[in-house]
Amino acid sequence: MRVPHLKGSPMRFPVAVAIALCFALPATAHEADLSLDTATQLLSAANIVSAPKVVDCTLSEGAETSCIQFAVKPEPANHAAGPWCPSNISDGADQGGIWLKDGAVLEADGAFFTILADLYDDDEWQLSDPATGAINVTSSAEACAAAARPDVDPAYNNYCVQCLTDYVDPDLVITYTIPLVPVAASRTSPINFGGAGVATNGIKLDGPAPVDAILDAYTIAPFDDCGGHVNLHVGYHFHAVRNCLEVSDLALDALVVGIAMDGYLITENALGLYDLDACNGHIGESGPYHYHAGADGSNQILGCLTAQTGCAVEGEGGVCDATQTSRPPRP
């Protein structure tokens, strides 16, 4: 069996005792509230359609407050998207992306697709032609739609699922509405279809990829080296935070890589340095409560959200009522 090549050395965070279901917002040494200037600065690398502005909003538990609202195109402006699937088992790492397994980041190069039966202890895995080495890769928007849905079309079992940015509606815009000041919630909330937040380049920081559903269909849906891939409904989005983002130093204990849907800032991976809560957050020694992005291989940018959340919806602008947006997540 070929040993898959590891990218980096993922580490798991130490996690504090689970947060109680009812709690107040974490106490802070000073305020970490957003401002129009801060949001504009953080999003300077984003593909902005509508610049940040302050609007009225209703958060996930009904709190009425003020939010920052902005609209972006879901495609990275600061780096190229892809590649994801190599075309032949002879292709090197520069022709493929990455895959996550058991906390590790694996190179999804051509050779990776020859070891899947051993890796998952299942002889049904066969994504390449034994005679030519050609890898089965989705090669159209229609194939992407059929293979990237939760109930994978059986015709695409044993495929590498690759959805290109060209397949996404060119008019697709995502509007984010995020509280200026975090508002206490009665409990932590899971990462739903709105995602964990938005990266500094305007790309959605998503919840965990549905790896079990992907593997059940004998498919692999790689991420590119930046931790992203494409869904036809939300465009390019991240399932890991890697070294592809513009970062900002806002006097926290790590550089800022994004804004969470509850208004707290998201900083770089803590590399096991801090005792983080179940949501990957803590109060820094010299700063307010904030989150740290999960380890590269964890398939979890944030564990949950601490405060009431705003909205992330398709289309430009609109009124945010997050009490009305609790629908099931898309893959």
Q: What is the residue extent of each domain of the chain?
A: 36-78+171-218+230-322
Give 232: exposed, middle or buried? Use CB within 10 Å, 0-12, 13-18, 19+.
middle
The answer, yes or no, to whether residue 207 has pLDDT greater than 60, is yes
Query: Which pair of tokens denotes residue 31?
Result: 């305020």
How far apart CA 113 and CA 265 sit, in angstroms, is 38
Query: Which pair of tokens denotes residue 322?
Result: 């997050």
What digits encode the pLDDT tens for the residues 123-181? 999 999 999 999 999 999 999 999 999 899 999 999 999 999 999 999 999 999 999 99
For 177-194, the DSSP string reads EEESS----SS-B---TT
The answer, yes or no, to whether residue 82 has pLDDT greater than 90, is yes
Residue 150 is predicted with a pLDDT of 87
First-to-last alpha carbon distance for the chain, in angstroms, is 31
DSSP 198: E
pTM of the model: 0.89
Please say whether the beta carbons of 42 and 330 come within 8 A: no
For 234-247, the DSSP string reads TEEEESS--TTS--
How far apart CA 326 and CA 302 sit, in angstroms, is 19
What digits encode the pLDDT tens for the residues 98-130? 999 999 999 999 999 999 999 999 999 999 999
Residue 220 is predicted with a pLDDT of 98
Query: Where do we find the tokens 């305007």?
Result: 202
How far apart CA 232 and CA 308 sit, in angstroms, is 28
Q: Which residue did the predictor score with more confidence, 89 or 23?
A: 89
Q: For the residues 23-40, what does the mean pLDDT come to?
A: 64
Torsion of CA 76, 83, 230, 166, to 10 degrees: 80
Looking from the CA of 317 toward its CB, the CA atoms found within 13 Å total 2
Residue 24 is predicted with a pLDDT of 42
Q: Which residue did the predictor score with more confidence, 110 or 324?
A: 110
Residue 326 is predicted with a pLDDT of 52
Residue 330 is predicted with a pLDDT of 39
Q: Which residue did the predictor score with more confidence, 273 or 6?
A: 273
Largest CA distance in the chain: 64
Average pLDDT, the chain: 89
Give the three-class secondary structure for 166.
helix
In sequence order, the β-bridge partners of residue 178 are 68
Residue 15 is predicted with a pLDDT of 28
Q: Which of 88-97, 119-128, 283-292 has the lowest mean pLDDT?
A: 283-292
Reported as a pLDDT band with limits 50, 70 and 90, residue 32 is: low
Residue 98 is predicted with a pLDDT of 98
